[in-house]
Structure 1
Amino acid sequence: MIEFKGKLISFPEVITYLKNNLQLKGLCSQILHQKIIHQAAADRNIQITPEEIQIEAEKLRYEKRLFKASDTLGWLADNLISSDEWEAGIRDHLLSKKLAEHLFGKEVERYFWENKLNYDQVVLYQITLHDQNSAQEIYYQIEEGELSFYEAAHLYDVDETRRNRCGYEGKLYRWSFEPDVAAIIFNAQPKELLVPMKVNNSSCIFLVEDFISAKLTPEIYQEILYKMFQEWLLAELNYMLYA
Structure 2
Amino acid sequence: MEKDLTILSQDILEQVKLSCQIPSVVDAIATRKIIKAAANQVGIKTEAEELQQAANSLRLNNKLLKAEDTWEWLEKHHLSLDDFEELAYTNLLSKKLAIHLFGNEVERIFYEHQLDYTGAVIYQVILDDEDLALELFYALQEGEITFQELARQYIQEPELRRAGGYLGIQRRAEMKPEIAAAVFAAMPPQILKPIMTQKGVHLIRVEEIIQPELDEQLRVKILGDLFTNWLKQQIAELQIVIQMEDNNVQNKVDEPKLANAN
**Aligned with 2:106 (options 90, 105, 108):** 108
Give RMSD over aligned pairs. Answer: 2.0
> CA 1:129/1:101 → structure 2, altered by over 3 Å: closer, same or farther?
same
Larger % of helix: which?
1
Comparing 142-151 with 82-91, greater Cα deviation is found at 142-151
Distance 2:135 2:70 in 1: 58
Distance 1:75 1:141 in 2: 51
Distance 1:91 1:97 in 2: 10
| Equivalent residues in 2 for 1:141-160, closer than 5 Å | 141-160=139-158
Query: 2:244 — aligned with what?
Result: none
TM-aligned CA deviation for residue 141 of structure 1? 1.5
| Equivalent residues in 2 for 1:48-67, closer than 5 Å | 48-61=46-59, 63-66=63-66
| Equivalent residues in 2 for 1:59-208, closer than 5 Å | 59-61=57-59, 63-66=63-66, 68=67, 72-208=70-206
**Aligned with 1:226 (options 201, 224, 227):** 224
Distance 2:161 2:100 in 1: 44
**Structure with more relative contact order (C-alpha pairs < 8 Å, separation 6 or more):** 2
Query: 1:40 — aligned with what?
Result: 38
Unaligned runs of 5+ in 2: 241-256, 258-262
Distance 1:223 1:188 in 2: 26
Contact in 2 for aligned 1:123/1:209 (Cα 8 Å): yes
Distance 1:224 1:84 in 2: 31
Secondary structure of the structure 1 residue equivalent to 2:239? helix
Distance 2:153 2:71 in 1: 49
Distance 2:70 2:161 in 1: 41
Comparing 191-200 with 160-169, greater Cα deviation is found at 160-169
Secondary structure of the structure 1 residue equivalent to 2:190? coil
Query: 1:3 — aligned with what?
Result: none
Contact in 2 for aligned 1:128/1:158 (Cα 8 Å): no
Aligned residue pairs: how many? 236
TM-score (norm: length of structure 1): 0.89
> CA 1:193/1:72 → structure 2, altered by over 3 Å: closer, same or farther?
closer
Query: 2:211 — aligned with what?
Result: 213
Distance 1:158 1:59 in 2: 35
TM-score (norm: length of structure 2): 0.83
Identity across aligned pairs (percent)?
33
The one-letter code matched in structure 1 to 2:93 is L
